[in-house]
Each structure stands twice: as structure tokens, then as C-alpha cells.
Amino acid sequence: MNNEYILSAEGINKSFGEAHVLKNASFTLKKGEIHGLMGENGAGKSTLIKILSGDYSRDSGTVTLDGKPVVFNSPKDAIDLGIRVIHQEISVVKPLSVAENIFLGNLPRKSNGMVNWDQLNKQAKEVLESLGEDIPVKTKVGLLPIAEQQIVEIAKALSVSPKVLIMDEPTAALNDQETSKLFSLLKKLRDKGVSIIYITHRFSEVYELTDRITVMRDGETVATLETKEVNDDKLVKLMVGEEKNAVFAHKKIQKGDRIFSVENLNVEGMLNDVSFHVNKGEIVVIFGLFGAGQNELCRAIFGDIKIDSGDIYIHNEKVSIHSVKDAIDSGIGFVSDDRKNEGIIPLQTVKENISLAALPKKLMAKFGLIKREKERELSQKYFDALNVNCSGIEQKIGSLSGGNQQKCVISRWLANDAKILLLNMPTRGVDVAARTEIYRELEALCERGVAVIVVSLEMPEVLSISDRIYVMHEKRIVGELSRDEATQEKLMSYALGIVS
């Protein structure tokens, strides 16, 4: 192999069950370069990184480090060979000191087995000094600002003199000043001969920092380019690829008046001046990269996150929502993206799961008793309407497939006559057949005058089911598109924040 590469991967395949997440992916990293790795959510970046760092084993393909083929059976193997990863979430041990964190698992000892504190602190100081940093080594890491915690983490990675450093969106929690400081540190490391893989969604960072860029899409490596050859347009085109076929034929419904709107919603650190509305007869989709604020938006509307300022209107009437109960009483329903932890109650029956939210309003008899016959009828009605596939409403929901569980969770809000339905990634972990049925039900709801708001990360889904699309980028809505004007490229450009 060409020995200008420190690390290279060829023909990597990886499947999880049915899902083929890496298809013949390849990647090369030159000695002493900073290499940007890009791609939309689910393109396979994280999986590739996990394979390169020994977190996952590959199904097929070769990885070559320093000219020698290598096999990692665990992250430790990769670390031992000089590959270190710094994940997006900082993983320092907060109650321990800076020095202890840097040499965690590798503390210098005296001959009697006790920690050699003097040597530890001295070595830690040396590592930090080599980075041009002056953080007191005896301070508890938890007391440091995030940016310095991250430096500790980098120092920890460098304490074993790695050949390859992998950084996964390290600037997500940093401000501009901290970011530029990190960049000069990374450039310094590069000049010392460390090779760096840098994952990010931010174009400006890629241009400023990297030497080469690899773009991934749908589990494949699309292209590797010199950074000076690329521009926004080219990158977006590479990331989204060909226009994909619609996954669902969404019929047009007669549009009507505005039935729901949110105005200037602000939540400190989570949402920035968000406004949008839904007209009768349309499905509104909120698109954006993962973590752009979609989840927070849903929860703020649903009363699960406290709103700092802003108004919510239902049928042009202002509603005040201070709790989940207020939201439900106003006719709002919310389907969480985390079905297992926030959706289903696995030990209870399908019937009980469907009726749960409707109990106080529709199924309460005297003395707080449940109207059992009515409960059965109500649950059966939605069980049939959404074509839930199982032995009946008395089956425990935990034993159903993802798609069928999701239908039940959606039914929970239909049973309570929700007028506004917020769905956060409703088809996550749902098979294709059930997806179509869910889309069809959303369409039917829309026709009945329910305001349907769907958060989705998948562009084919966005383009299939939406009538109007809002794109979020870093806690704010940056674009609004009708389905006819929307293309994958436009959506991605907004989501990446390169047009606004």
C-alpha cells in the first residue's frame, strides 16, 4: 500500500440485522493531515468511526494502520495501536483532578503500589504545556468550563502519543473564541505529525481547518477531495446525491384557515425565536439535522419544557401552557421519538395504552371509576382504525413490533380527540408497511382538521408527506418551503446553515 497513508480502510461492510449501514465504505488518512468527514444523519459516519476505533467489529473489509493490516477486537486494541477518539459528549470524570483524568487507567505508581502523585502531576503539567495550556493540574475537572474540560480530554488522548486522533463534532458546545482556540491547537498537533479525523456539519469549520474532505452518503463513500477544490454547492450535492423517489404518495387536501401557530418562542439555550404555523388540511414537517432544536420545540409546545417567552395559538386563540396537563387540556398530543422510554407502558395491554390519556376526560365515571365498557369500545375503535396487527386489545403492548406499538401511541392521542398532534420522528424503528399506514393515518387526521406537525430527519419522508416544511438549524427556524419548491439540496443547505 501507499505509505503516505497512516490509516486506510477498504471495502468496509457492516450490517445491523436487516440494515446494511456501511456498503463498501473506504477511507484514507494521510500522515499529518486534518481530514473532514461529512454526511447527513445516518450516512454512516459514526459507524465508520466506531469500526476504526474498535467499538464495532466489521463484517468485511480491511483496515491498514502504518502499512500493516490490523484487526481490533475492542476499543483497547485501537488505543494500544495509537488511535484515540474524542466523542461529542465530553467523558471526563468530573470528581477527579485534571492530572488524574489525563492519566486515568494509567496512573504512575510507586514501588509500593501507591499512586506517585508528584510524578503524576509533573507529567500532566508537561502534557498540558506541550499543548500550550496552563490549566492547574490539581483542580477538579468538574469545576472547569466546558472548553477546558475538552482540552483535558484532548490531553488525555495525547498522553499516550497517538498516531491518529478522531474528533466527533467537538465544537458543538463551544463558543467562537473557544472554537478558534481549539482550532489552533489542532493545527499545532497536525504540524507535530498527528493525523486527525474531524467530523462536523459546519462548513466554515471544514474550510478553515481541514486539508481533505471525505463525504459519505447512505453507507457509501461518495468522494474524497482536497479542501481547496470544494465549495458549498459541491459539498451539498455530494451529501444529498440524486433526488430519491417519494416513499409515499401524499394526496392534496383542501387548505383552510390557520389552526395552530407558535410565535417567537424562546427557551434559553434551546430555542431561539421560533415561529411557525399550520393551516387546516396540511401536514407540516420540521426538518433539520439531529439536535437542531426539533425535540425541544415539541416539548416546549407540549409543556414539558418551560417557555421563557412566546405565544401559542390554537384556532387563533391564545393558550397558556405551563405543564403537560395544560397542553393536553388544550387539545395537544405529543408522540415522543423515544417510544420505549417515553411512549409505551410495556406491561400494560394495548387497550390500557390507548386509553391512558383519555381516562380523565372521557372515561371517568363517579368516584373516579373507569367506564370499562366505554374504554373497551374506544380502544377497539382506534385499534381497528389504525389496523394494529396483534391478537387483540388485551395483548400486552410490550410484545408488539415497533410499528404496531407506534400506532397505539398515536391512538392514545386520537382517543383523547387531540386537535394538535406533534410527532417526533414517528417512523423511527418502524417497518415499511407500518410506515405507510402511519402516513395514511396522518393524512386522514389532517383531512379531519387536526393540525399535524411531524419532526423528521429523513429527506425522502419529508418530501413525501409534507405540505409545508420548516427547516431548523441551531435552535432556530431558518427556512420555510412548500413541498413543491423543496428539493433535497435546498433542505440540506438550510439545515447546514449555509443559506438563510
Partner 1 sequence: MQNEQALDMLELKKQRIRKFQQMVLDSCLVIFTLAMSIYFTFASPYFLSIKNFMNILSSVSIVGIIATGMTLVMITKGIDLSVGSIIAVSGCVTALMIEKYKLPWWVAILAALIAGLLIGLTNGVLITKFRVVPFIATLGMMNVIRGFAFIITNGQAIYTSSPQVAFFGAGKIFNIIPIPGLIMMVIFVIVWFVSKYTIFGRYVFSIGGNSAASRLAGINVKKVTLILYTLTGALSALSGLVMTGLAATAMPSAGDGYNLDVITAVYLGGNSSEGGEGSVWRTLLGVLIIGILNNGMALLSIQSYWQTAAKGLLLVVAVIFDVLRRK
Residue ranges that bind partner 1, judged by CB under 8 A: 302, 304, 324-325, 328, 334, 336, 341-348, 352, 356-357, 359-360, 363-364, 367-370, 372, 389-391, 395-396, 399-401, 403-404, 412, 431, 433-434
- Min. distance of Cβ 213 from partner 1 in angstroms? 39
What lies within 8 Å, CB to CB, of 440 at 6+ separation is none
Closest separation between CB of residue 433 and partner 1, Å? 4
Residue nearer to partner 1 on the CB measure, 136 or 346:
346
- Least distance in Å: CB of 135 to partner 1? 33
Nearer to partner 1, 122 or 322 (CB): 322
Count CB atoms within 10 A of the CB of residue 43: 24
CB of 327 to partner 1, least distance (A): 8
Cell numbers that stand for 309 in this block: 417567552
DSSP secondary structure string for all residues of 118-151:
HHHHHHHHHHHHHTT----TTSBGGGS-HHHHHH
CA distances from 416 to 120, 143, 173, 360 (A): 62, 47, 39, 10
Nearer to partner 1 by Cβ, of 135 and 400: the residue is 400
Q: Give the nearest distance from C-beta 297 to partner 1 in angstroms.
A: 15
335: helix, strand or coil: strand
The answer to whether 189 touches 212, Cβ cutoff 8 Å, is no
β partners of residue 271? 267
How many other C-beta atoms lie within 10 A of the C-beta of residue 399?
12
Rounded to a whole number of angstroms, the minimum distance from the CB of residue 383 to partner 1 is: 14
CA–chain centroid gap for 357, Å, is 28
Minimum separation from the CB atom of position 396 to partner 1 (A): 6
Nearer to partner 1, 111 or 391 (CB): 391
CB-CB contact of 170 with 182 (8 Å):
yes
User: Among 317, 303, 391, 295, which residue's Cα sits nearest to residue 350?
Assistant: 391
Distance (Å, rounded) from C-alpha 265 to C-alpha 398?
36
- Rg value, the chain, Cα: 26
53 vs 406 by CB, closer to partner 1: 406
Tell me whether residue 226 or residue 431 sits nearer to partner 1 (CB atom): 431
C-alpha to C-alpha distance for 302 and 325, rounded to whole angstroms: 9
Q: How far is the CB of 344 from partner 1 (least distance, A)?
A: 6
Q: Which is nearer to partner 1, 303 or 497 (CB)?
A: 303
Does residue 142 contact residue 94 with C-beta atoms inside 8 Å? yes
Distance of alpha carbon 187 from alpha carbon 194, whole angstroms? 9
Helix or strand or coil: residue 482? strand
CB 384 to partner 1: min, Å: 16
Between 267 and 335, name the residue whose CB sits nearer to partner 1.
Answer: 335
Comparing CB distances to partner 1, the nearer of 51 and 358 is 358
Instruction: Say if strands 212-217 and 34-38 run parallel, antiparallel, or are unpaired.
Output: parallel
Q: Which is nearer to partner 1, 128 or 409 (CB)?
A: 409
Closest alpha carbon to 159 in 116, 122, 123: 123
Q: Whole-number minimum distance, CB 379 to partner 1, in Å? A: 13
C-alpha cell at 344: 409505551
Q: Please, what is the minimum distance in Å from the beta carbon of residue 424 to partner 1? A: 11
Distance in Å, CB of 453 to partner 1, minimum = 16
Four-CA torsion 255, 258, 260, 264, nearest 10 degrees: 130
Task: Dump the DSSP string for 268-333.
Answer: TTTEEEEEEEEETT-EEEEEESTTSSHHHHHHHHTTSS--SEEEEEETTEEE---SHHHHHHTTEE
178: its cell numbers: 473557544
Closer CB to partner 1, 114 or 347, in the complex: 347
Residue 97 or 424: the one with the smaller Cβ distance to partner 1 is 424
